[in-house]
């Protein structure tokens, strides 16, 4: 029975590789992944699932087709399935993602940024 208290900021300090996906918890068939990012991601959507973003440190934007969402530390958004979005971190930020196991980071778009690996930290 492995039940551990997870401190989000302490976990973030263990991440040394930008854009790596770092598993911190599982909830049934969902995964919580921490990412440190500084990049403009690509437009994509997920056909089969909503996706939750929570900013743990810094700030980010999520571009939608009709507007741009600004997220600061302590803010959450759920992007519904099928909705095109482009996450953008102009400065380095730490983001918690929550989505079902097997969700592809680039969704329907695929391409060079596709990364299905995730390591426990």
Residue 27, interface with a second copy (CB under 8 A)?
yes
Output the smallest distance, CB 34 to a second copy, in A. 11
Choose the stretch contacting a second copy; rule: CB under 8 A; options: 14-22, 37-45, 92-100, 112-120.
92-100
Residue 109, interface with a second copy (CB under 8 A)?
no
CA 35/CA 44 separation, integer angstroms? 18
Contact 77, 52 (CB under 8 A): yes
Site for a second copy (CB under 8 A): which residue of 15, 38, 50, 121? 50
Contact 92, 73 (CB under 8 A): no
Residue 93, interface with a second copy (CB under 8 A)?
no
Helix (H) or strand (E) segment spanning residue 10: helix 8-13
Residue 63 corresponds to which tokens in the numbers above?
Answer: 């571009």
Residue 28, interface with a second copy (CB under 8 A)?
yes
Total length of the chain? 121
CA 93/CA 22 separation, integer angstroms? 14
What residues make contact with a second copy under the rule CB under 8 A? 1, 3-9, 24-28, 30, 32, 49-52, 64, 69-72, 74-81, 83, 98-100
């Amino acid at each position: 029975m492995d039940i551990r208290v997870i401190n989000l900021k302490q976990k973030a300090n263990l991440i040394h590789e930008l854009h790596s996906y770092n598993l911190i918890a599982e909830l049934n068939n969902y995964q919580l992944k921490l990412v440190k990012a500084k990049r403009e991601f690509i437009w994509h959507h997920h056909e089969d699932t909503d996706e939750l973003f929570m900013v743990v440190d810094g700030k980010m934007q999520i571009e939608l087709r009709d507007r741009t969402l600004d997220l600061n530390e302590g803010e959450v958004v759920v992007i519904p399935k099928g909705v095109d979005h482009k996450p953008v971190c102009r400065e380095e930020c730490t983001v918690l993602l929550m989505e079902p196991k097997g969700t592809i980071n680039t969704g329907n778009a695929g391409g060079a940024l596709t990364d299905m690996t995730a390591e426990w930290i």
